[in-house]
Amino acid sequence: MSMITERPVNSPVGPAPTETEAEDAGARQDVRGVVAAYVALTKPRIVELLLVTTVPAMMLAAGGLPSLWLMAVVVVGGALAAGAASVINCYLDRDIDQLMRRTKRRPLPTHTVTPRNALVFGLVLATVSVALMAAFTNWLAAGLTLAAIVYYDLVYTLWLKRTTPQNTFWGGACGAAPVLIGWAAVTGSLAPAAWALFAVVFFWQMPHFYALAIKYKADYARAGIPMLPVVASTRRVNAEIIVFTWLTVAASLAVWPLGMSPVYGVTALVVGGIFLVEAHKLTRRAARGEAVKPMRLFHWSTTYLTILAAAVALDALL
């Protein structure tokens, strides 16, 4: 009789891991999971989008490339600030996040991170970001950084978001603040061009977030959040999407005579025209009672802002 047994088809090749090796592998997996959870709290996609507007504003303020050291400080400080605001937002919104399908898998609703640890993490990030800006840029940029964090978490998250359908409008200031922070870091002041760029991002947030709120209307209603699509008629939402899309494009064109070349101007006209077409297409379908695709407008609005920001950066280099 042969002493060789046939290896099962699904058994691993080689010796089985020892108990210690298995424990080490499990520990590494747990560490990776915890790290991933803390990173998720910072909402990296939002951080990335905010930085997309910061760097071109710095380049325009400098009339070219500012010092690489200054850019590195502002990018790191801005990322930490945006991450801090998002972490504290997750802490404050943990009660409603568990009610919404879109957010119920975030680290706090799933108990991957404790509320206390999340709050400490957010406050540490906020402190480091403001200290970094204060130490290596100037007090105006540092003050704007602190104001943006406080406004987003205490004014928008705790108050506006839960009490008024105009939360997106009044909360738009913190989303557009990175433009001012980047400009202030370079010049120590705020010029008309900085405010014009601020207006672009400010107005852009309404069609961008209204499209998202249409998609997740039931989620917001379940959580008791009075986003405009939840509490207002379709006609009212459509009207605001159109008005603010036009205002976004108008603000982008207002930047053109403030020292910008035709490269920027033509880009603003083309991508702005596409943005308007998508906004009108969404509202027409909604007005006709047809199935709408709000995420199409949502994704294009992100592309619009990215291309426009790239045009600002390119123009500054020309």
DSSP alpha helix (H) spans, 113-187: 115-136, 139-150, 161-163, 167-170, 172-187
Q: Tell me phi and psi for residue 235, to 5 degrees.
A: -60, -40
pLDDT of residue 30: 75
Range 110-134 average pLDDT:
96
Instruction: Convert the pLDDT of each residue in 57-103 to its tens digit.
Output: 999 999 999 999 999 999 999 999 999 999 999 999 999 999 999 89
Q: E strands, 180-286, where?
A: none
Distance CA 271, CA 224 (A): 35
User: Domains plus CATH for the chain?
Assistant: 38-317 (1.10.600)
Percent of the chain with pLDDT over 90: 81
Instruction: Convert the pLDDT of each residue in 248-278 to its tens digit.
Output: 999 999 999 998 999 999 999 999 999 999 9
pLDDT of residue 137: 95
Range 290-316 average pLDDT:
93
Percent of the chain with pLDDT over 70: 91
The pTM of the whole model exceeds 0.85: yes
Residue 2 in this model has a pLDDT that exceeds 50: no
Q: Tell me phi and psi for residue 107, to 5 degrees.
A: -55, -35
Of the pLDDT bands very low, low, confident and very high (cuts 50, 70, 90), residue 26 is very low
